[in-house]
Amino acid sequence: METLLAIVASYLIGSIPIGVLISRTKGVNIREHGSGNIGATNVWRTLGPVPGIIVLLLDMSKGVAAVLIGRHFGGTETELMAAFGALCGHSWSIFLTFKGGKIVATGAGVLLAISPAATLVALVVLLTTVGISRYVSLGSILAAVSVPISLYLLHMDGLYVLFGVLLMIFVIYKHRANIERILAGTEFKVGKGRRS
């Protein structure tokens, strides 16, 4: 029962559409601008760095909160199921007719609560990839790929490594349209136009 409570609570927290709420304070429906995504990247491109950073930090906090809730109610299994609940909430929000974001920021919050070291590795991979390619989406994908590898090399429990694999698959799945645009040469690059 406590595990179910942790999952439901984390899903509801994950479902809070921070990007939509922050953009509304600026009189903007973020889903009608840029890529239409509710995440920090689109908010940044549409409204500027300050709203984008606020969305990033608050979306990350949803992931951190989920891990802490799961940790409070049970062991590793409950912690990771609660974390997955938050990711599902962010991706398929009950407040947005089961639509949502790409889970990168919320996933980063989960990872930060689980392993700051793996988070640092993912951040370096993200920034390096974006610096070289100028594709935020590619940086997010490769950062996600680094997660299970880092968790394994850090000798984390096998359940964490498995969760890292699921997180990686989740991120790649949510970025499938971006992958198609990268291959087609039409994906947004940092410093150019607008797209996601």
Q: How many CB atoms lie within 10 A of CB 29?
A: 10
Q: What is the mean pLDDT of residues 169-188?
A: 94
Residue 162 to residue 55: CA distance in whole angstroms: 28
Exposure pattern of 52-91 as b/e (b: 16+ CB <10 Å)?
bebbbebbbbbbbbbbbbbbebbebebbbbbbbbbbbbbb
Phi-psi region of 156 (alpha: psi -120 to 50; beta: other; left: phi over 0): beta
| Distance from the Cα of residue 21 to its chain's centroid | 17
Backbone dihedral angles phi then psi of residue 184, each to the nearest 5 degrees:
-85, -10
Domain extents in the chain: 2-184
Percentage with pLDDT > 70 across the chain: 97
DSSP letters for 156-189: --HHHHHHHHHHHHHHHHHTHHHHHHHHHT-S--
Q: What does the pLDDT read at residue 36? A: 86
pLDDT exceeds 70 at position 1: yes
Token output for 60: 């990350």
Q: What is the mean pLDDT of the chain?
A: 94
pLDDT exceeds 90 at position 196: no
With beta carbons less than 8 A apart as the criterion, state whether 56 and 67 touch. Answer: no
Q: What is the mean pLDDT of residues 61-78?
A: 96
Q: What is the mean pLDDT of residues 102-127?
A: 97
Q: What does the pLDDT read at residue 127? A: 97
Residue 175 to residue 169: CA distance in whole angstroms: 10
Q: What does the pLDDT read at residue 110? A: 98
Backbone dihedral angles phi then psi of residue 108, each to the nearest 5 degrees:
-65, -35
| Distance from the Cα of residue 94 to its chain's centroid | 17
Residue 11: burial class (beta carbons within 10 Å; 0-12, 13-18, 19+): buried
pLDDT exceeds 90 at position 31: yes
